[in-house]
Structure 1
Amino acid sequence: MKKICLITGGSRGIGLEIAKGLAAQGHQVYITSRTPVDVPHLTHMLLDVTQQVSIEQLAQNFPEQRLDVLVNNAGIMPDYDLDIEHTPFDTITQLLETNVRGPFAVTQALLPFLKKSDDARVINMSSDLGAMAQVSDPYSKFDAIDAPSYRVSKAALNMTSLVFAKQFRNTNIQVCSCSPGWCRTGLNEHDDFTHKAPNSATQGADTPIWLALEAEQINGQFFYQRQPIAW
């Protein structure tokens, strides 16, 4: 069956690759960004996930009766090179607004459409850096990375996934978190950091596409490379 999908932050990077992958399989795909873009085979809608008015307008103007797949992909990472002693208050606020409050509010606003799907999937794009099991391991391959506010925001996003999953347990809506891994994207402005990433944006999009279309029981789980991982 043709699915109706919406990808926030879908105009570039992993979000765009997710959208293109879903569209290539014949599904109706909407992408959002703060500024207009023109991408073949994808329908664009304006959205600023940090603005409640923008989120409300998205829900009011959504042209479909139902929504089968919501991928909360929009996110930022401005603090890669900051340690916890030198992280400005505004950076913490900005990350929490974009990476946590945004997905929470977008999902909340689109629930009426998700409830009309026979099999709705909400996929929150998180990160290994937000996994407490990984952060607490001094031998983790990511231990050298600080990014304190980003880590906190992704851990909070994981809890967002869990509270929504708990709310809609045993319903038609499944909610999960997903890490795309370290990918070569424009998530942050540090080119030396980005170029070291082992995965392409296309590789990062593989698991969320699988979660959207093929995976069966995903509710309340955290995935990487199509496998559940520790929170």
Structure 2
Amino acid sequence: MKKVLITGANKSIGFEVAKQLLEKGFYVYLGSRNIENGNEALEELKSAGFSNAEAIEIDVTSDDSVKAARAEIGKKSDSLDVLINNAGVSGGQPQQALIATPEQFKQAFDTNVIGVARVTQAFIDLIKNSPEPRIVNVSSSQGSLTLANDKSNPYYNFKGAVYQPSKAALNMYSIALAFELRETAVKVNMVDPGFTKTDFNNHRGSGTVEEAATRIVKYALIDNDGPSGKFFSEEFFPEGVECPW
């Protein structure tokens, strides 16, 4: 049975990703910053008939928390088939370049970039032990420099000076990671779930969590001939077509 760790999996897109991978026969480590919230999500999954899951406390901004999560999972398994770095924050308001505070930038980068690096580095030994290891970093079309400068982009007028740079940095980190792992079986990709109706955007999105999760799950399941180091945004580009930077 393949095993997956999903950060930020106690609600919204991460929770739906967990459900879809459980349906596909995975054992799911339901990562949650707050273990109580994780356990509530786990009970919901159990009520829906899913048994191959457990809640794991993991705060991606904390070295100690991530190390503890790695140790806990390491007690149960010597490999991890899929890591989905889903946990993320917007950085709050305001998002204007001349007004946003240093604290906002620190929060966004600590979670969206450093947190991804922290978790990936902690679990890479288990990931490399899998015969078909996959890393999916949940990104955003807002992290594309090309789209940010495209006046035909429906989100062109949104210039989030905190959130967008953090996702652009995540994309660059992901490319560097894929390059370093190019001689291994590990596939690393970035996926934009789309403008999804969740707590993250006060439910202003147009897409559903089911659609968003399906996009992410696809790249958790790619075969050994699949892509690596690529950024996919099905909201803007046909299925399977890499988003231009």
CA contact (8 A) 1:21 1:209 kept: yes
Paired position in structure 2 for 1:229: 243
Q: Percent identity?
A: 31
Matched, 1:53 2:61: no
Task: Classify 1:224/1:102 alpha carbon distance in 2 versus 1 (closer, same or farther; 3 Å).
Answer: same
Tell me the CA shift for residue 146 of structure 1. Answer: 2.1
Matched, 1:116 2:129: yes
Paired position in structure 2 for 1:217: 226
> Following the alignment from structure 1 to structure 2, what is the Cα–Cα distance between the partners of residues 153 and 213?
26
Paired position in structure 1 for 2:6: 7
Paired position in structure 1 for 2:21: 22
Paired position in structure 2 for 1:31: 30
**Unmatched segments (≥5 aa) in structure 1:** none
> Following the alignment from structure 1 to structure 2, what is the Cα–Cα distance between the partners of residues 20 and 187?
19
TM-score, normalising length: structure 1: 0.93
Paired position in structure 2 for 1:159: 172
Paired position in structure 2 for 1:207: 215
> Following the alignment from structure 2 to structure 1, what is the Cα–Cα distance between the partners of residues 15 and 173?
23
> Following the alignment from structure 1 to structure 2, what is the Cα–Cα distance between the partners of residues 230 and 58?
35
> Following the alignment from structure 1 to structure 2, what is the Cα–Cα distance between the partners of residues 119 and 224?
23
Tell me the CA shift for residue 84 of structure 1. Answer: 1.1
Q: Which amino acid aligns with 2:56?
A: M
> Following the alignment from structure 1 to structure 2, what is the Cα–Cα distance between the partners of residues 82 and 59?
34
- Which has the higher mean CA deviation after the structures are superposed, 109-118 or 80-89? 80-89
Paired position in structure 2 for 1:78: 91
Paired position in structure 2 for 1:127: 140
TM-score, normalising length: structure 2: 0.88
CA contact (8 A) 2:140 2:192 kept: yes
Tell me the CA shift for residue 80 of structure 1. Answer: 5.9
> Following the alignment from structure 1 to structure 2, what is the Cα–Cα distance between the partners of residues 81 and 142?
17
> Following the alignment from structure 2 to structure 1, what is the Cα–Cα distance between the partners of residues 103 and 93?
15
Task: Classify 1:32/1:69 alpha carbon distance in 2 versus 1 (closer, same or farther; 3 Å).
Answer: same
> Following the alignment from structure 2 to structure 1, what is the Cα–Cα distance between the partners of residues 227 and 114?
22
> Following the alignment from structure 1 to structure 2, what is the Cα–Cα distance between the partners of residues 18 and 158?
20
Q: Cα RMSD (Å) of the superposition?
A: 1.4
Tell me the CA shift for residue 81 of structure 1. Answer: 5.0
Paired position in structure 2 for 1:96: 109
Paired position in structure 1 for 2:55: 44
Tell me the CA shift for residue 224 of structure 1. Answer: 2.0
**Unmatched segments (≥5 aa) in structure 2:** none
Paired position in structure 2 for 1:145: 158
Matched residues, number: 225
